[in-house]
Structures are given as C-alpha cells and as structure tokens.
C-alpha cells in the first residue's frame, strides 16, 4: 500500500513560490485592527479566514443564480445545480480522485460522524462488538461512539497516548482485535497537533475486518490527502477550516458502504418514488442529502478548494513545518511556558498548545487579544484529553497559510508582556 509521507525535513522546505505577503492581500479581514493593533489571527484550528474569492462566490450566487438545486428546469435552477455539482467534483478530486457519488455534503464534520454512527453503526454494531477510538479525540469523534456503545451494548476500547503526545501502539494488536467492528481516530489532533499513523492503523483494522473512520477536520486543510491510498472507509472534514464557508461538511465513504447505509434524514430530494405507504431512495449521493442543502456555501467552497490547490498542498505543508518549528523554538526560550505534544515539528501540524505556569489560559487569551493577537483558550472540545495532560485548559496558537514568523514574534512578545503584567507587575 502506498503511504503518503507528510514528514518532510525542515532543511528541505522551499517556500520560494510561497508568498505569504501576497496571500495576505486576498483576505480582507486581516486588515482589521483589534484594540488598536493589526490583527494577528492564530486561531485557525477553530476556523480559518476567507479569501475574497470565497466571499464573492457567496454574493454571486445570491445576486446571479439563486435557485433550488436538482429540481427545476429553468435557467437559474440549472446554473445553481451545475455550480453545486462542480464543488462536489472538486471535492472528490481534492481528496484523491474518488467518485463524485462518494461525496456527501453535510453541515460539518460533526454531522458527518454522527451520520456514520447512527446509520452504519446501528446497523452493524451489536452487543459484544468492540468500538476503538483514541484518547486524543475531539468530542465530535468521541461522544457519538460513546452513545452508540451505550445503546448497543458494545465495548469501547481506547488507543492511549504516551507522555510525548504520540499514540502508544505497543498493545495495538490487543486493542484492535477480531471483536473490533470500527476504529474511529483523528488524523491530526486539534490539541496536540500530532499527525497519527492512520495508514498503519487502517491496515491493521482491515486485517481484523474492522471499518475505519478518519476525522480529517484538522488534516484536510493542511496535508495532501488521498483517501484511496489511505484505504479509509470513511473520511470527514469541514469547509470552514480550509478557507471555505461555515455550514458545509463532507462525508466521504466507499460507494458500497454508502449504498448499504440507510438515510438518517428523510424528506425531499432523497427519494426516487413515494406512495402513501412506502418510499424508495434515490441514487447516491442524493440518498443521503435530504432537503434543500446549504447551496450558497457549498458553491463558495469551490473557490476555497481552488485556492488551496493553486498553492499546492505540499507547499502548504512545507510552510506549516517551517512556521511551527520557528514557533516552538521561540516559545521554548520562555522557561515558564510548557508545550504539549510531539517535540518534533515534523510529527505535528501547525498547532501549539501551551500553558504559562503562573497565568490561567483564559487570562492569557484575553490579554493577548488586547494586543491584537487572537488565540484559543480552553479544553478545545477535548475534555478527556486535556484532563490526561494534567491541566484544566490550555492556550492554543494555530497557524495557516497567511501566518508569518513576524506574527510568531508578536505572539511571543505579547506573552512576555502578559508575564510582566500578571506576575512581575
């Protein structure tokens, strides 16, 4: 099986064709001033900012061809349908050239996971079966499986993490065993930044006839993704974390799995024939897309995909390695800052979670905001993981294509100022 290597040495990073200054000009919000300071946006793991092309696409839909899709024969309806299906085509290409029928549009990655747990899970999981997840999951890839286990009587198993923020695979052959029916894991942790060895885990799961769901909410925006090479059964992600609008999620699943899954939402668009007594389902992907979709935002996801593709996901990954490496180097110079997750930036995405040993993360985030620096503070919808780290919450800086080393410097200087204000003042 072909394995995609994301861990390129820092020495090989070549950003000669990656102009962050040019990229910044495409994002109008980055010109904002917050509390008198130019915005330094470092909360990209929560959501990314949107380029003008995405903003314009939303306006173009409403001003030019606003109509419902897959239903009308008039010009506006045909144009809207064509635009939405172009996004489906681009999405299929973006994750490795899968079939368009294997792309299901949802509201977000969370809804995609819940669809799998509800439809596929309730049909295939029974008492005595085993569901395996990891200790670093976002609540979106944790709670649906907890609830499914409670409802079916299945057993929950966890792949633990080690002290360095990696998955501990020493007992993986016991954790993923013949009783295992599904393994659900994040490709990249939203707290630790850890890039997990999903290829290896998928291969082992399939040897045990288990299915695998990969949460790609953090990886799809940052890594070259080929779900066919991964051999993932399910892969989910959200548009808003990859320059696209909010309210658009993607569920990829193999065609035979989607055909076997029952819909979880019923109504218009997803039927082929209805009587007063019965209903038959439409072909994929309509079968799993009941009702009027979020047409405008799905249409506007296409220019976001184009934007990332035009830069090149390899170059985006290279930029991320470079800026994350620099960020960790600079933060480590502050002896009161503790960083969580892998020490090697090649093993992680552009996420750095940390704590100051004297300042609560919430106070830290508010102080940084006074300097125009936007970070996240809290448990990041991963309460069990943060508890394992031994802290109530962390501060988190997360980077993307428009972030620079100069902005890392502003983050570090703001942390020093916070220290002077809260501790030394």
Give dist(CA 337, CA 353) in Å, integer: 10
List, in sequence order, the alpha helices (H) in 224-341. 227-230, 255-260, 295-311, 313-332
User: Is residue 321 helix, strand or coil?
Assistant: helix
Number of helices (H), then strands (E), in the chain: 15, 17
- How close are the terminal C-alpha atoms of the chain, in Å? 58
What's the DSSP call for residue 274?
A: E
**Cα–Cα distance list, 415 to 31, 96, 254, 373 (Å):** 22, 41, 46, 10
The residues, ordered by sequence, that sit 6+ positions from 19 with a Cβ below 8 Å of its Cβ are: none
User: Going by DSSP bridges, is the β-strand pair 33-34/37-38 parallel, antiparallel, or unpaired?
Assistant: antiparallel
Tell me whether residue 163 is exposed, middle or buried, using C-beta atoms within 10 angstroms of its C-beta: 0 to 12, 13 to 18, 19 or more.
Answer: exposed
Give dist(CA 252, CA 100) in Å, integer: 9
- HEC string for 289-318: CCCCCCHHHHHHHHHHHHHHHHHCHHHHHH
Give the largest Cα separation in the chain, rounded: 75
Give dist(CA 276, CA 40) in Å, integer: 58
DSSP per-residue string spanning 373-417: EE-EEE-TT-HHHHHHHTSS-EEEEE--TT--HHHHHHHHHHHHH
**131 backbone dihedrals φ, ψ, rounded to 5°:** -110, 125
Other residues' Cβ atoms within 10 Å of the Cβ of residue 113: 28
Is residue 360 annotated as part of the catalytic site, yes or no? no
Confirm if 234 and 212 have CB atoms less than 8 A apart.
yes
Q: Exactly one of 295, 381, 411, 414 is catalytic; which is it?
A: 381
Confirm if 394 and 340 have CB atoms less than 8 A apart.
yes
Give dist(CA 395, CA 176) in Å, integer: 33
What residues act catalytically?
Answer: 381
């Amino acid at each position: 099986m072909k394995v995609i290597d994301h861990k390129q040495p820092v020495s090989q990073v070549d950003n000669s064709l990656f102009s962050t200054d040019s990229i910044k000009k495409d994002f109008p919000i980055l010109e904002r001033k917050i509390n008198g300071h130019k915005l330094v946006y470092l909360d990209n793991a929560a959501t990314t900012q949107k380029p003008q092309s995405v903003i314009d696409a939303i306006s173009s839909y409403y001003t030019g061809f606003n109509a419902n899709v897959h239903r009308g024969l008039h010009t506006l309806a045909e144009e809207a349908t064509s635009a939405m299906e172009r996004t489906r085509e681009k999405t299929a290409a973006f994750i490795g050239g899968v079939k368009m029928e294997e792309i299901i549009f949802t509201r977000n990655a969370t809804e995609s996971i819940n669809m799998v747990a509800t439809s596929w899970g309730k049909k295939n999981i029974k008492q005595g079966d085993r569901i395996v997840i990891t200790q670093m999951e976002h609540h979106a890839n944790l709670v649906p499986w907890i609830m499914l286990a409670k409802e079916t009587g299945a057993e929950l198993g966890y792949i633990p993490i080690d002290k360095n923020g990696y998955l501990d695979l020493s007992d993986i052959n016991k954790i993923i065993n013949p009783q295992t029916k599904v393994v659900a894991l994040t490709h990249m942790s939203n707290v630790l930044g850890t890039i997990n060895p999903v290829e290896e885990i998928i291969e082992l799961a399939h040897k045990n006839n288990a299915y695998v769901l990969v949460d790609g909410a953090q990886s799809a925006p940052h890594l070259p993704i080929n779900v066919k090479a991964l051999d993932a059964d399910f892969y989910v992600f959200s548009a808003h974390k990859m320059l696209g609008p909010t309210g658009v999620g993607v569920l990829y699943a193999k065609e035979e799995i989607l055909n076997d899954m029952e819909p979880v939402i019923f109504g218009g668009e997803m039927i082929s024939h209805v009587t007063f007594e019965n209903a038959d389902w439409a072909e994929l992907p309509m079968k799993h897309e009941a009702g009027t979709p979020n047409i405008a935002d799905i249409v506007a996801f296409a220019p976001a995909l184009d934007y990332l593709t035009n830069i090149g996901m390899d170059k985006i990954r290279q930029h991320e390695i470079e800026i994350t490496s620099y960020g960790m180097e600079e933060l480590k110079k502050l002896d009161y800052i503790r960083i969580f997750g892998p020490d090697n930036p090649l093993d992680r995405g552009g996420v750095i979670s940390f704590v100051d040993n004297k300042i609560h993360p919430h106070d830290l985030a508010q102080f940084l905001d006074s300097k125009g620096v936007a970070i996240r503070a809290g448990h990041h919808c991963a309460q069990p993981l943060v508890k394992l780290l031994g802290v109530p919450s962390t501060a988190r800086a997360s980077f993307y294509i428009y972030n620079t080393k100069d902005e890392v410097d502003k983050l570090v200087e703001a942390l020093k100022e916070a220290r002077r204000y809260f501790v030394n003042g």
